[in-house]
Amino acid sequence: MNKTELAERLIRAASDRVATTPLTDDFPDLDVDTAYTIQDTVVEARRASGAVIVGAKLGLTSKAKQEQMNVDEPLYGWLSHDMHIDTGEPLVCDRFIQPRCEPEIAFLLGEDLSGPDVSAARVIAATQLVFPAIDVLDSRFAGYSFTLPDVVADNSSCAGFILGGQGSSPTNFDMRLTGCVFEKNGSLIATASGAAVLGHPATSVAW
């Protein structure tokens, strides 16, 4: 297994906007640790092309999703400046392979966090503002058919993000009780609450 070649396969799929087959179809022994090294290569290639990393995206932050994927912790990917989409800006689907959208809660940190002892309380203290957000996913695998190592290698399907509103201080409201109503053309798609994110959204950031 040549990790560089696998990274190039994902880079080419994104550039050409043509989906590929899961890496694990060819390399069933691919594990998550190796997948993160492939992700690193993909991200470094984007940085070499001028992309600036501006944040991180977390996935599998609900217990239901973790049980579905048979894991016990979230996964992450990296967001770059050119993934930002302004509120109200039309989503140009030609930029993507098969875009999907999910509602999220975004944290704007006022200081860096590091180390094994970061807690949810520490995250809240370090956070300047919290925003409602839309995560634009775009799996480089046809039909969103992938295993956990595949999606990790694919930078957790990162493709775009939209920040809504002016942001709020995290101390002004209880994120656990914050509800989300997701609609498409006026029709209800899904509902959720902040508590579904590992009990508190700040817990996922602390992870």
d(Cα 147, Cα 178) in Å, to the nearest integer?
A: 31
Model's pTM, two decimal places?
0.92
pLDDT at 165: 84
130-139 tens-digit pLDDT: 999 999 999 9
For the chain, percent of residues with pLDDT exceeding 70? 100
Given a cut of 90, whether residue 66 has pLDDT beyond it is no
Q: How confident is the model at residue 25 (pLDDT cuts 50, 70, 90)?
A: very high
pLDDT score of 65: 80
Question: Residue 1 pLDDT more than 80?
Answer: no
Residue 204 has pLDDT above 80, yes or no: yes
pLDDT tens digits, 124-181: 999 999 999 999 999 999 999 999 999 999 999 999 999 998 899 999 999 999 999 9
**What does the H/E/C string look like for the chain?**
CCHHHHHHHHHHHHHHCCCECCHHHHCCCCCHHHHHHHHHHHHHHHHHCCCCEEEEEEECCCHHHHHHHCCCCCEEEEEEHHHECCCCCCCCHHHCCCCEEEEEEEEEECCCCCCCCCCHHHHHHHEEEEEEEEEEECCCEHHHCCCHHHHHHCHHHEEEEEECCCCECCCCCCHHHCEEEEEECCEEEEEEEHHHCCCCHHHHHHC
Per-residue pLDDT, averaged over 7-19, amounts to: 97
pLDDT tens digits, one per residue of 87-106: 999 999 999 999 999 999 99
2-16, 33-47, 66-80: segment of lowest average pLDDT: 66-80
Percent of the chain with pLDDT over 90: 86
Q: CATH number of the domain at 55, please.
A: 3.90.850.10
As given in the structure block, the two tokens for residue 22 are: 């899961």
Residue 111: pLDDT band (50, 70, 90) is very high
Which residues are registered as beta bridge partners of 59?
75
Average pLDDT over residues 11-26: 97
How many separate domains does the chain show? 1
Domain that holds residue 51: 3-206
Q: For the beta carbon of residue 143, count every other beta carbon within 10 angstroms.
A: 8
Neighbouring-strand partners of residue 46: none
